[in-house]
Amino acid sequence: MNRSSGASRSTPAAATSWAQASSTPGCNASGPAATRPAGARRSRASASPGAVVGETHPEYDSHVSVPALWDRKTGKIICNDYRTLSTDLATEFDEHADDAVDLYPKALRAEIDEFHEFLFTRVHDGPYRCGFAPSQEVYEKEVEQLFEALDQLDHRLRDRRYLFGDQLTEPDIRFYVTLARFDPVYFTHFTANLRRIADYPRLRTYFRDLYRIPAFRETTDFDQIKNHYFRTHPFLNPTGIVPAGPLLETLLSD
């Protein structure tokens, strides 16, 4: 598939999820297939994530989260591997997509796959490792590794518009999801606070450039991002108070 779809709506990868609990990796939802009762409705609007998982795996009764790829014809989850979902979308739905942009070009796939592993372990997961660190020693190690990675990415962008040159690719979409959450949430909520993205000259420009693309901007809701994080981790924020700031003018404006 050659278009971005709701990049900022994806849940970051560190959250404990049904996808992690699944015993079968990749795009094969584990467990026995559920049978839809005769005449059951297939309504996307009315189905909660829990209901969809329950229909796919009636025996599953643990934590449920998104993202997952849902087949509206069968009413079942067909892919629950959050680490490959965007690649699945970039490669498996070409007949339904606008091919004006190739987010996963064949000539770059090996390099992109390697880069995705770096993004996941060092960047996407990094703020969570800081926020959930069990000790001061572990926290300091995780903070150092996270900001080393951000420094590397800021340097990478010194001579290119996007992560792989002048062409927008899948890693840009994945990286954007973390950048959109960093200053409003990760900096304070997860104490990943050596620097803001707004303090990085190239990362700031890069994020602003992506944000100006309608597909990114129109699917990014900073208020929703803040409300979600600050109200769903009571062990980190027991009062549930959502901070008024930070103001994002420095990040979003020239």
Whether the CA torsion 14, 16, 20, 26 is positive or negative: it is negative
Q: Mean pLDDT across the stretch 205-209?
A: 97
Banded model confidence at residue 32, pLDDT cuts 50, 70, 90: very low
- Among candidate residues 116, 117, 87, the one with its CA nearest the CA of residue 103: 87
Beta carbons of 85 and 39 less than 8 angstroms apart: no
Q: Which of 229, 147, 152, 163 is nearest to 195 (CA)?
A: 147
- Interval 168-179: pLDDT, tens: 999 999 999 999
The answer to whether the predicted template modeling score (pTM) of the entire model surpasses 0.85 is no
Q: Which residues pair with 162 in a beta bridge?
A: 165
Which residues 6+ apart lie within 8 Å of 20 measured at CB? none
- For the chain, which domains are there? 110-252 (1.20.1050.10)
Lowest mean pLDDT among 74-88, 192-206, 237-251: 74-88
Give per-residue pLDDT as tens, 43-92: 444 467 777 777 777 887 777 777 888 888 888 888 878 788 888 888 88
CA 240/CA 243 separation, integer angstroms: 9
DSSP 8-state class, residue 182: I
Q: How far apart are CA 29 and CA 205, in angstroms?
A: 39
